[in-house]
Amino acid sequence: MSLALSTLLFEWRRYMAAVMALALSGLLVLAMTGVFIGIGKGFTAAIERSSADIFIMQPGAKALFSGPMGMPRRFVPLAYNHPEVVEVKTLDMSGGNFQNIKNVDPTATAADRAKQGAPRQKSVLVNIIDTAPGSVTIPRDYSEELVEALRQPFTVAVDETALTPLGVKLGDKALFNGQTVTVVGVLRGYPNMMQPTIVMSRDSLRMLGQAFEGPRVGPLMLKIKDPARAEVVVAQLNAMGNGQWKAWTRQQLADANAGAMFEEGILVIIIGGCVVLGIIIGVAITWQTLRGAIMANIKEFASLRALGVGMGSLRRIVMELSFWVGMVGVGAAILLTWLLSLLALSNAVIISMPPMLLIIVGGGLIAISMLSGLLSMGILKKSQPADLLR
Amino acid sequence: MNKHTKVHGKHGEFALEAKGLVKRFKSGRSYVEVLKGVDFDARHGDLTMVMGPSGSGKSTLIAALSGLLRPEEGRVDALDVDDLWKLSGGRIDKFRLDHCGFIFQGFNLFPALSALQQVTTVLKYQGLSPEKAKKRAALALEEVGLGHRLHQRPAALSGGEKQRVAIARALAKDPQILFADEPTSALDGENGQVVIRLLRRAATEHGAAVICVTHDPRLEAWADRVIHIEDGVIIDDQRRTPNPEAILASH
């Protein structure tokens, strides 16, 4: 084990401040970015987890909610022209007013009724599935029982984190746009902090009079024979479409959806602010900690100098030390963010940690640490072996 | 190439020769001359003791001799180097890495490293492979009687043992010149004796030129040569016959 690594492990308390500063800087940026990606995920989770291998959207669309959405209904049979396509369904989303129903005791006094409060009313997003077995619009983690329950008319399912805001529980009746629906399912893993989401079947939606029946439909969701060939089929579909549409694999669309959040100028400013703040805090604390730690061993460094170890080698020790401090900081940052994301998830807030984000932030933290190492290098000048002679 | 000093000299041949060393320190607005034209030499196989009261310039002298502190005037010929102070800083470092050992009053061991690692760290900078460095370090630690404490960190070692690790660190390089600055003054009599005997052995068995600065007159018994320095001037230079069996006891 190298001198730098042994020192870091043995005197870890001395380096704790630097590691924590890096971890908190990392947490700040990771959590902020993660929350924003997570907000987007709240809207697209059901679609990204569907069994659709391919999506077809307007040529100008940059992501699911970015760019033109609707397409002519005649594209549905056109998509079937590809021999490997087995199912085409249109993506339908709706929205409405959701209101819980309170059981009112007719004998209660006016004061008691007032205490009970008004029924809760919320604007909700509606995800639509087709209840035919194995349909392309059903998310892969939905159980048979859930689909069966939703197959009944006027039924809805709600994510567990939306139960409290909507004021309902399993089995409750509620009003959706003034018509009675029954909560027959509770989902897990579909939180949306911005807007509660409910799921219903396309048939229920039609009976409620809200399905797209006209000549224009939402993006197409396609299932193909061999999902492994999705990229090939996408290329062929794009050729067939002749510029009228653009096909995406599920992963391409998911990546585009995650990135779409950052087209918002304000988000970039907020995250940019966090990055700047993180760098300032990280560098300042790491620099001073490293400086102090080197100063504490300055006599030992001086004795190495006396024995002929050059200044360049000592600088390399400092840089190696900063690198390891950075590595530990990255680990701590990821751990803290992960713990925070668990806590957040129980409150319907998704903190998304895509590997690319971890790599970028991790690299940034190591760069901060190395920069701090460079800054604290000056203190090595104090390792004058002549000072050891008295 | 100078004619006098040699890298691998026989006992009694010059290892180090300095002429007219002058070193001044700034003190307020005036300068204090700490070394006033000192001529000095040290020979292979000799334990040369430099003695003097504090402030006499003895530490400054070895700093100037070893390339740690540049003198204002004078020259130092060391081993095969003609005027050490004409070399660049990097070359002086390299010279010390290749040829010099150092022992300080404080032990200056890295708290995180075991005794073995303290020694191997320096050896690795000499370009030894990790295995070779380990073997040589273990040998050096055995020589100072710490074969059983290879994996202890400084916190687990006594003062005497720490100084022995520092000596092993200096001796493992097999230096031709060994500088020691008050090596026994932080130690009790018994440990002091162990240390001075090790220095004696480095001179006798390894043929190193050992230059030991001290103000402890009891150490004289082990020296081949005793130089007294006072106020930056050498006032006395005697050769004597060392007694390796001398006893340094505090009681």
User: pLDDT of B214-223, one tens digit each?
Assistant: 888 888 888 8
Predicted pLDDT of residue B59: 87
Six token digits for residue A164: 């409290």
What's the mean pLDDT when you consider all of chain A? 88
- The half-sphere exposure of A115 on its side-chain side, counting CA atoms within 13 A, is 6
pLDDT tens by residue, B129-179: 999 999 999 999 998 888 898 899 999 998 889 999 999 999 898 899 999
Contact, B102 vs B173, CB < 8 A? no
Residues in B touching A297 (Cβ below 8 Å): 110-111
CB contact under 8 A, B108 and A307: no
Predicted pLDDT of residue B251: 46
Mean pLDDT along residues A285-289:
92
pLDDT of A309 strictly over 60: yes
Which helix (H) or strand (E) is B43 found in, with range? strand B30-43
Six token digits for residue A47: 């679609």
Superfamily for domain range B14-239: P-loop containing nucleotide triphosphate hydrolases (3.40.50.300)
Predicted pLDDT of residue B2: 55
Which helix (H) or strand (E) is B97 found in, with range? helix B89-99
In the structure, what pLDDT confidence band is assigned to residue A280 with cuts at 50, 70 and 90? Answer: very high
Coil vs helix vs strand at A22: helix
Q: Is B184 on the interface with A (CB under 8 A)?
A: no
Other beta carbons less than 10 A from residue A192's beta carbon: 24
Residue of chain A whose alpha carbon sits nearest to that of B212: A389
Residues in A touching B110 (Cβ below 8 Å): 3, 6-7, 297, 300
Predicted pLDDT of residue B3: 55
Share of chain B above pLDDT 90, in %: 30
pLDDT tens by residue, A135-184: 999 998 899 999 999 999 999 999 988 898 898 989 999 999 999 999 99
Mean pLDDT along residues A109-117:
78
CA angle B14, B16, B21 (to 5 degrees): 135
Residue of chain B whose alpha carbon sits nearest to that of A5: B112
Other beta carbons less than 10 A from residue A81's beta carbon: 9
Residue with structure tokens 């803290």?
A336
Residue ranges per structural domain of chain A: 3-41+264-388, 93-211
What's the mean pLDDT when you consider all of chain B? 87
Share of chain B above pLDDT 70, in %: 96
In the structure, what pLDDT confidence band is assigned to residue B211 with cuts at 50, 70 and 90? Answer: very high
- Greatest C-alpha distance within chain A: 97
A220-224/A85-90 β-pairing: antiparallel
pLDDT of B67 strictly over 80: yes
CA torsion sign, B106 to B111 to B117 to B120? negative
Predicted pLDDT of residue A185: 92
Q: Give which of A303, A315, A320, A387 to mutate to test B binding, by max B Cβ within 10 Å.
A: A303
CA distance A100 to A376: 62
CA distance A190 to A291: 47
Rounded to a whole number, what is the distance in Å from the CA of A313 to chain B's nearest CA? Answer: 8
- Closest C-alpha among A183, A100, A93 to residue A146: A183
Rounded to a whole number, what is the distance in Å from the CA of A336 to chain B's nearest CA? Answer: 28
Contact, B190 vs B249, CB < 8 A? yes
- The residue length of chain A stands at 390
- The half-sphere exposure of A158 on its side-chain side, counting CA atoms within 13 A, is 26
CA distance B170 to B122: 9
Predicted pLDDT of residue B5: 74
Give whole-number Cα distances, A54 to A129, A185, A226, B16, B237, in Å: 16, 28, 11, 83, 95
CA angle A233, A235, A236 (to 5 degrees): 65
Rounded to a whole number, what is the distance in Å from the CA of A191 to chain B's nearest CA? Answer: 49
Mean pLDDT along residues A262-271:
82
Residues in B touching A384 (Cβ below 8 Å): 68
- Specify the higher pLDDT residue, A198 or B81: A198
Which B residues 14-73 touch A at CB under 8 Å?
54, 59-60, 62-63, 66, 68-69
Highest mean pLDDT among A115-129, A261-275, A289-303, A374-388: A289-303
pLDDT of B250 strictly over 60: no
Residue ranges per structural domain of chain B: 14-239
DSSP annotation of A70? -
Contact, B244 vs B204, CB < 8 A? yes
Predicted pLDDT of residue B1: 45
pLDDT tens by residue, A30-58: 998 888 888 888 888 888 888 899 999 98
pLDDT tens by residue, A60-99: 888 888 777 788 889 999 999 999 999 999 988 888 999 9
CB contact under 8 A, A388 and B181: yes
CA distance A100 to B44: 99
B209-214/B177-181 β-pairing: parallel
Rounded to a whole number, what is the distance in Å from the CA of A17 to chain B's nearest CA? Answer: 19
Predicted pLDDT of residue A191: 85
Contact, A286 vs A372, CB < 8 A? yes
Predicted pLDDT of residue A20: 92
Mean pLDDT along residues A210-218:
82
Share of chain A above pLDDT 90, in %: 48
Predicted pLDDT of residue B249: 61
Helices (H), chain A: 3-10, 12-48, 75-80, 110-116, 144-151, 163-166, 202-207, 230-241, 250-260, 265-296, 298-306, 311-345, 355-376, 385-388
